[in-house]
Amino acid sequence: MAPPSTSLIELPDLRLDDASALLAHDGKSSQPQRDESPTEYLQRVIDSLCELSLKDPLTGLGNRRHFHAALERQIETVARSGESVLLLMLDIDHFKNINDTHGHLAGDHVLRVIAHCLAGCVRPVDTVARYGGEEFAIILPNCRPLFGLALAERIRRTVAGLSVPISPLLSLQATISIGGAYAPEWVRSTTELWIERADNQLYRAKSNGRNQACIDQPQELSVSAEEKGLLFSHLAVDNANPFESGPGNVINRVNA
Amino acid sequence: MNDVLTPPTQNPDAAQVPLKPLGKVLAVTSGKGGVGKTFVSANLAAALAKRGHKVLVLDADLGLANLDVVLNLYPKITLHDVFTGKARLDEAILPAPGGFSVLLAGSGMVEYSRLTSEVRNEFLRVMNSLVPNYDVVILDTGAGISDVVLFAVSLASEVLMVATPEPTSLTDAYATIKVLVGQQQRQVIRVIINQATRPGSGAAITNQLQQVLDRFVVTGLNQPIRLVHLGDIPVDPEVRQAIMRRQLMMQATPGCPAGMALTQLARNLEDSVIPRAA
Ligand SMILES: Nc1ncnc2c1ncn2[C@@H]1O[C@H](COP(=O)(O)OP(=O)(O)OP(=O)(O)O)[C@@H](O)[C@H]1O
Ligand SMILES: [Mg+2]
């Protein structure tokens, strides 16, 4: 049960109408519940608003703000761990034609269907966001360089295979172009440079005729398991059963 | 392609301010953060100063190397003011405890953490003015490898790679060496094993690193990369003590095990790369 309120803020004094309306519009309960203290209620409102601020209203994907926050986190990880993280920028081909020919509602519908399809193509750890207009972005942590192109290709084919019904009689086919780049491993760089490199590849895919994927392959800088094995072979010998080697053993080894 | 990994010398901007033949510029770097780069930079500077060399240490990660914290110096005028034209270079150089000079970056430099042609040119200009005036310039770099750090390292005549015996630190050191070999065609990298737990382990670790490099890293040059073990520094409680007392270890307790190791490092450098002071 909620303790008696001793706070300085009284709920009725706050103007929460706009916040409530926003949450209600998003299908969330916007009024205080019976068992909720004012603090709990406010926390819930704030949490829901934060969630809302990161979401693209049309597609339900993360928005650009969400994307940038995720990308910042990833580039930090890559610099320190050397993990391979792939960024894909995806753009619907000839989207303007769809809008012009079939109207904006049809265009919005295509965006929603493709967004849903993209979200279904990736793992839960990946981030799919609407970058703006008809452009999407996907961040794929822990994605080996060997698989990058195959993965982008699979996404491209899946989208190309979609049939988007816009009326009982008419379905549309849409294709996407994809550009990708890996974060420079072990190098602390900026998200702007990373996006720029992926964008350059997207541009390449577009100018090569669209409906294709281009990836900026990273320089081979990762440290393989084989390399690590050799690197730490001395540790395996030195530290084997540290608890068994009493002081006598250490002296023996030094003398040996 | 690979903007961040493009060697700076290939950039047309770099040609505008050619670097004069360098005095001894030592870049202290590591890959993994927190292994003791700043501790080594500052205390090695003091050890060299004590042996009669004129030394300057520079925060070469433009504010991210935390040199100010280790030296307990928070000056009004910093490299940031020099870069932005608000101050002259000589106004930003301070005497540090330990008998050497220091050039700090100041917090405003974080906006320079991206290597633009402006940053590159300013950096070169500063280095060109510094090098003729010192026997040794030590570049303290920050955690991770950034394009700024890579550029700074490319200006150094010697790379001192600091690592601890931990697997994560060794992996990072190895990855950094690979970047340097691939990008800058370095032929010699000097290895310092810090926080060594048993005597002699540093030479074995360096040897191991060399074997992995020989096996997996093809330099494409006639000369393969060579690692030279410069020395070990033991774990020493005096190091933390000095930081707590806001003193430089080399000044407070130069006779402690870590202090003696640093003096030995300075001697080893004299034997290999720095001419003995007159
Ligand atoms: N030989 C040593 N014995 C004991 N403690 C040590 C030793 N060397 C370093 N340390 C401790 O490790 C900590 C990190 O050192 P330092 O700040 O020099 O690392 P760094 O590599 O410069 O870090 P960053 O990457 O964040 O710039 C220091 O607080 C210091 O007390
Ligand atoms: Mg440091």
pLDDT digits (tens, 9 = 90+) for B91-146: 999 999 999 999 998 766 655 666 677 888 888 999 999 999 999 999 998 776 77
Least confident of A233-247, B115-129, B191-205, B215-229: A233-247
pLDDT for residue B3: 37
What is the sign, positive or negative, of the torsion defined by CA atoms of B266, B267, B272, B276?
A: positive
- Ligand nearest to the CA of residue B40, numbered in listed order: 1
Q: Per-residue pLDDT for B8 more than 70?
A: no
- Give the Å distance between the CA of A203 and the centre of ligand 1: 45
* pLDDT tens column, A164-175: 999 889 999 999
B28: left (phi over 0), alpha (psi -120 to 50) or beta: beta
Token pair recorded at residue A132: 């703006």
Q: Per-residue pLDDT for B272 more than 50?
A: yes
B11, B154 Cβ separation under 8 angstroms: no
In this prediction the ipTM stands at 0.72
Least confident of A42-51, A208-217, B69-78, B239-248: B69-78
Nearest to B200 by CA among B261, B274, B263: B261
Nearest to A166 by CA among A104, A233, A254: A104
Q: How many domains does chain A have?
A: 1
pLDDT for residue B121: 87
Query: Is B213 in CB contact (< 8 Å) with chain A?
Result: no
Domain membership flag for residue A246 = no
How many C-beta neighbours within 10 Å does residue A43 have?
12
Q: Which residues pair with A34 in a beta bridge?
A: none
- Ligand nearest to the CA of residue B39, numbered in listed order: 1
Compare CB distances from B175 to A218, A223, A238 and report the shortest one's residue. Answer: A223
CA dihedral B213, B218, B223, B229 (to 10 degrees): -10
pLDDT for residue B138: 96
Domain membership flag for residue A147 = yes
What residue numbers bound the domain in which A141 lies?
64-216
pLDDT for residue B244: 87
DSSP single-letter state for residue A12 = G
Domain membership flag for residue A96 = yes
pLDDT for residue B112: 62
Q: How far is CA A241 from CA A238, A245, B44, B268, in A?
A: 9, 7, 36, 35
Domain membership flag for residue A72 = yes
Q: Per-residue pLDDT for A131 more than 60?
A: yes
Q: How far apart are CA A254 and CA A150, in angstroms?
A: 52
Domain membership flag for residue A229 = no
pLDDT band at B57 (very low <50, low <70, confident <90, very high): very high
Domain membership flag for residue A255 = no
Exposure of B83 in the CB half-sphere (CA atoms within 13 A): 25
Average pLDDT rounded to a whole number, residues A6-16: 79
Instruction: Tell me which of B39, B58, B262 to substitute to probe ligand 1's pocket, judged by most ligand atoms within 8 Å of the beta carbon.
Output: B39
Strand positions, DSSP E, chain B: 24-29, 55-59, 93-96, 100-103, 136-140, 145-146, 158-163, 188-196, 226-234
**Separation in Å, CA of B212 to nearest CA in chain A:** 6
- Residues within 6 Å of ligand 1 by CB: B 30, 33-39, 65-66, 70, 142-143, 194-195, 233, 235-236, 239-240, 243, 258
Q: How far apart are CA A153 and CA A95, in angstroms?
A: 20
Considering only CB atoms, which residues of chain A are within 8 Å of chain B? Answer: 79-80, 82, 184-190, 192-193, 196-197, 200, 216, 218-219, 221-224, 226-228, 230-235, 238
Chain B CB contacts of A228 under 8 Å are: 167, 171
| Integer-rounded Cα radius of gyration of chain B | 18
Q: Per-residue pLDDT for B14 more than 50?
A: no
Q: How far apart are CA A219 and CA A145, in angstroms?
A: 10
pLDDT band at B15 (very low <50, low <70, confident <90, very high): very low
* pLDDT tens column, A55-100: 999 999 999 999 999 999 998 888 767 688 999 999 999 999 999 9
Q: Per-residue pLDDT for B11 more than 50?
A: no
pLDDT for residue A199: 94
Q: Per-residue pLDDT for A254 more than 60?
A: no
pLDDT band at A125 (very low <50, low <70, confident <90, very high): very high
Residue of chain A whose Cα is closest to the Cα of B173: A186
- B16 vs B37, more confident: B37
pLDDT for residue A110: 97
Q: B68-89 burial string, b = 16+ CB within 10 Å, else e?
A: bebbeeebebbbbbbbeeebee
Query: What's phi and psi for B122, nearest 5 deg?
Result: -65, -45
pLDDT band at A234 (very low <50, low <70, confident <90, very high): low
pLDDT for residue A239: 47
- B268 vs B111, more confident: B268
Average pLDDT rounded to a whole number, residues A198-206: 96
Q: A189-223 burial string, b = 16+ CB within 10 Å, else e?
A: bbbebbbebbbbbbebbbeeeebbbbbbebbebbb
A81, A188 Cβ separation under 8 angstroms: no
Average pLDDT rounded to a whole number, residues A26-44: 88
pLDDT for residue A118: 97
Q: How far is CA A219 from CA A145, A146, A185, B90, B211, in A?
A: 10, 12, 9, 40, 22
- A242 vs A82, more confident: A82
Please, what are the domains in chain B?
A: 26-271 (3.40.50.300)
Compare CB distances from B211 to A190, A197, A230 and report the shortest one's residue. Answer: A230
Q: What is the CATH number of the domain that holds A178?
A: 3.30.70.270
Q: Per-residue pLDDT for A157 more than 90?
A: yes
pLDDT band at A185 (very low <50, low <70, confident <90, very high): low
- A220 vs B80, more confident: B80
CA dihedral A193, A197, A198, A202 (to 10 degrees): 140
pLDDT for residue A219: 58
Query: Is B9 in CB contact (< 8 Å) with chain A?
Result: no
Q: Per-residue pLDDT for B210 more than 90?
A: yes
- Catalytic-role residue among A134, A135, A220, A244: A134
Atom of ligand 1 nearest to the CA of B64: 27
pLDDT band at B151 (very low <50, low <70, confident <90, very high): confident
pLDDT band at B199 (very low <50, low <70, confident <90, very high): confident
Domain membership flag for residue A119 = yes
With tokens 């000095």, the residue in question is B242
Q: Is A134 a catalytic residue?
A: yes
Chain B CB contacts of A82 under 8 Å are: 171-172, 175
B169, A212 Cβ separation under 8 angstroms: no
The residues whose Cβ lies within 5 A of ligand 2, an ion, are: B 37-38, 65-66
Q: Which residues pair with B102 in a beta bridge?
A: B57, B94
Domain membership flag for residue A50 = no
Average pLDDT rounded to a whole number, residues B247-258: 94
Query: Is B6 in CB contact (< 8 Å) with chain A?
Result: no
